[in-house]
Structure 1
């Protein structure tokens, strides 16, 4: 197997293409750094060099606008009785920023229109967010997926469909409205 090849940009692009293919064929759980490296024709160490972990390769391959670690940290770091507010503020901030909004919109369209991508996102969220948060907070996964459904519904109504007056409400108004609902899911 080859080590580092000339052309950092092309090598990185080859790894991402291989990652998309591996995740698509094998799912998140079945894809490996070794498999991605083999398909890209590089050493696994080069995949780690460019991306770090399998999770980071996945985030880059699907062009996710936020890492699961940021979501997990927003949920688990800080007072438990403020989780709802932290999550809503993180979510609103990500959707409001032009550079991440476009990525989220593309992701929503991809997940809604492609079962393979939807399946990958399910596996990934279960592995990278629901599992760790469930363990950290000692909550059943059903409660976490309920919270996720609220957040995704908010995104659809406010940013995709742009239902008024929710679409033009201030962030503070949305936090006051939605945070208590999300907090319910994180309260044992």
Structure 2
């Protein structure tokens, strides 16, 4: 026999640790599967088995929840590790290949798609994505490059990669969407490499 679950009052669940983490995980899944617009505080609370008031207590709003979902274990983290491990003269190829692999991996691909779609769905979400990209991706990339105009190079690289991903995985523009990944790497890696270390003219 199924017992009816009593509605919890506001506040942390007694005796339960990791409540905030559970909310973030539920939010990441909802944003990935349902998108920014369809994700609600109540829906995330239900998935995390907490009262909606607790979600608001931790994050303040859906925007705050989106920001937390973006920054906790970000899907772009493997890119930064790759930058630190690669020689400068092969960085463009390795960075592009790993970036495409992330988009084509079900878990990280869904989160990256949620980020791109979320940024288009809300001005506040767009501002948060821009801040995240600057603080967590672009600036570390610029420091790792160690070349002249490093910040500009990082921004050019990020914009180029995002453009490829948007056309290939979000808008699914053909023939780019179905182009073999290694063929795409062969075509575009020299462009990425030029942004990173080449002559900017």
TM-score over 0.5 for the pair: yes
Alignment partner, residue 94 of structure 2: 86
Gaps of 5+ in 2: 1-10, 28-54
Q: Does 1:75 align with 2:83?
A: yes
Give me the whole-angstrom Cα distance separating, in 2, the residues matched to 1:156 and 1:67: 15
Q: CA RMSD in A?
A: 3.1
8 Å Cα contact 2:83-2:144 kept in structure 1: no
TM-score (norm 2): 0.65
- Which structure has the larger Rg over C-alpha atoms? 2
Gaps of 5+ in 1: 29-55
Q: Which has the higher helix share?
A: 1
Alignment partner, residue 124 of structure 1: 132
**Of 173, 196, 201, which aligns to 1:186?**
196
Change (3 A) 1:79 1:19: farther
Change (3 A) 1:20 1:114: farther
Give me the whole-angstrom Cα distance separating, in 2, the residues matched to 1:133 and 1:99: 23
Change (3 A) 1:11 1:147: closer
Alignment partner, residue 173 of structure 1: 183
Which structure 2 residues correspond to residues 32-181 of structure 1 after superposition, within 5 A? 58-60=70-72, 64=74, 66-68=75-77, 70-139=78-147, 140-181=150-191
**Of 32, 38, 60, which aligns to 1:21?**
60
Query: Secondary structure of the residue that 1:163 maps to in structure 2?
Result: coil
8 Å Cα contact 2:76-2:137 kept in structure 1: no
Structure 1 stretches (4+) deviating beyond 6 angstroms?
none
TM-score (norm 1): 0.69
